[in-house]
Amino acid sequence: MPYAIGLNSGSSFDGVDAVLIEINQAEDGSVLPPKYIDALSIDWPEDIQKEVLAAFDDTLGIFKLTRLNYVCGAVFAQAATELMKKHNLTGTDIDVIGYDGQTIYQEPPEHAQMQKYTADKPFYEMWTKYGYPCGLQIGEPGVVSVLTDAPVVTQFRSVDHTLQGTGAPLMQYFDYVLFRNVGPTATLNIGGISNLHLACADRSKMRAFDCGPGNVMIDQAMRVLYGKEYDANGETAARGTIYQPMLDEMLEHPFFKREIPRCAWRLDFGAEYTQQMLDKYAELSNEDKLATITAFTAEAIVRAFNEFVVPAGLGVNRLIASGGGVRNDTLMKMIAERLPEGVALETSDAIGVPPQYKEAIKFATIAFSTKRSIADNIPAACGAVKFGILGKLVLPPSQAKLTD
C-alpha cells in the first residue's frame, strides 16, 4: 500500500504538522479511507515566525516575501524529512507529499458579483471587477520536492477559486472519502478559524463552510492579556463569566451575513478585531474577556450548525470534531451544551483519526487523488461550477528522465 505524507500549518500558525499514512484505491478507482501510521510536529523557527506574522499584517514587503516563500518551503521539507527518517524511508518510498502552504492572505468570493461575469469579457476582469476569490499560500513546492526527493502536490485553492468556489474550507473531499459508505455525518474543524462540513454519499447534498473564529481570537487574547500562546485546556476561560453584551456585539460581525459557502480569514477575526473588542470592554476582568471570546467561538459554531446543517434534513446525530481546539475543554463543553438535543459531540479519535492531525491527513489524501487525476473538490459544498483537480504537482530530481 502506498505511503503518503501530509503537512499542515494552519491559521493558528503554531507549528508544522507532518503525518505519515498508507492510502490506496478501490477496484473502481475511488480513494479508500487512509490508515494513519505516525506523525510529528516541529516549531516554526522564531525569526521565520516573525516574518510570517509581518506578512499576515502586510508589512513585510515583496522582496522579503519572495525569499520567505522559499524559506517556508524548507521548513515544510524539514518536517517531512524528519518523519521519513524516523521510519527509515526515503523520497522514493513516498507516493506523494501533500500540503497547502502557509496561508498569508485569503479574499472571499463575492457571489452576486461573480454571476455578472460573462465569457465575452477579459479573463483578468474576473478578479478586477467581478469578485472572484483569491489567496496566497507560501512554501515553495520546488524546494520541498528537491529536498525530500518526493513528488509534491500543493496550493490546492486556485483551481477552485477560478471555478467560482471558495477554496476554503478544504476538508469536504476527505470527509467524502471517510464517510461516503457510512451515512450522513457532520464534522467540525477548530483551527484558527472553525469550519463545518456535511458529508454523505450524494455529493450534491454535501456542505462545507467556515463558521467564524476558532482559536484565533482566543490565542490572540491570551498573548495580549497573559503573554501566553494559548489557553491551555480553556482553564482561563473556565474561571470567567460570559458578558452577554460583548458576546451579542461580536455575533453582529459582518461575516455572519455572508452566504454559504463562505470563508473567513485573520482579517475577519484576527489581531485587529480582537484588540478592538478587548479595548471596548476593558472594564471586564481578563477571565471574563476570555470566557466571552471562547463563548463567541462556540456560539458561532452552533449557530452555523443550526442554520445550515439541521435544515438539510439528513438526520445527523453526531458532530465529529478535530483540530487544535478540541484540546480546549471549556470550548468543547460550551459547544456540547449548545448543540440541539440528540446531537453528540465527539472527536475524530472515534474514527481512528487523531484530531490534531486530521488537517495534515486531509492534504495527503487530496494530493494522492490529484496525482491520479481524481476530482477532489465538491462543487455543492464549495460553490464551484464543476468538478476539478486541485493543486500543483512538482516531480523530484530522481524522476527526471534524460533524452538524447
Give helix then strand counts, H and E, for the chain: 16, 13
Contact 98, 154 (CB under 8 A): yes
**How far from each other are the two terminal CA atoms of the chain, in whole angstroms?**
35
pLDDT in tens, 180-232: 999 899 999 999 999 999 999 999 999 999 999 999 999 999 999 999 999 99
The DSSP output letter for 171 is -
| pLDDT score for 259 | 85
What range does the domain containing 249 cover?
180-351
Residue 184, SS3? coil
Q: Dig out the grid coordinates for 23 from the structure.
A: 492510502
Read off the pLDDT of each residue in 86-99 and give the average, rounded to a whole number: 98
Q: Are residues 7 and 144 in the same domain?
A: yes
- pLDDT category at 11 given cuts 50, 70, 90 is low
Nearest to 239 by CA among 152, 363, 329: 329
- Whether 12 shows a pLDDT value over 70: the answer reads no
Determine, yes or no, domain membership for 327: yes
Total structural domains within the chain: 2
Contact 4, 83 (CB under 8 A): no
pLDDT in tens, 249-308: 999 999 999 889 998 877 899 899 999 999 999 999 999 999 999 999 999 999 999 999
Q: Are residues 343 and 377 in the same domain?
A: no
Q: Are residues 184 and 312 in the same domain?
A: yes
Q: Are residues 229 and 334 in the same domain?
A: yes
Q: Are residues 99 and 155 in the same domain?
A: yes
CA dist 132 and 347 (Å) reads: 35
Q: Are residues 62 and 155 in the same domain?
A: yes
Determine, yes or no, domain membership for 404: no
Q: Which of 10-19, 314-323, 354-363 has the lowest mean pLDDT?
A: 10-19
- Whether 14 shows a pLDDT value over 90: the answer reads no
CA dist 221 and 244 (Å) reads: 18
pLDDT in tens, 340-363: 999 999 999 999 999 999 999 999
Percent of the chain with pLDDT over 90: 92
Q: Are residues 12 and 38 in the same domain?
A: yes
Q: Are residues 249 and 391 in the same domain?
A: no
Q: Are residues 59 and 113 in the same domain?
A: yes
What pTM was computed for the model? 0.93
- Whether 13 shows a pLDDT value over 80: the answer reads no
Q: Are residues 13 and 160 in the same domain?
A: yes
| pLDDT score for 264 | 86
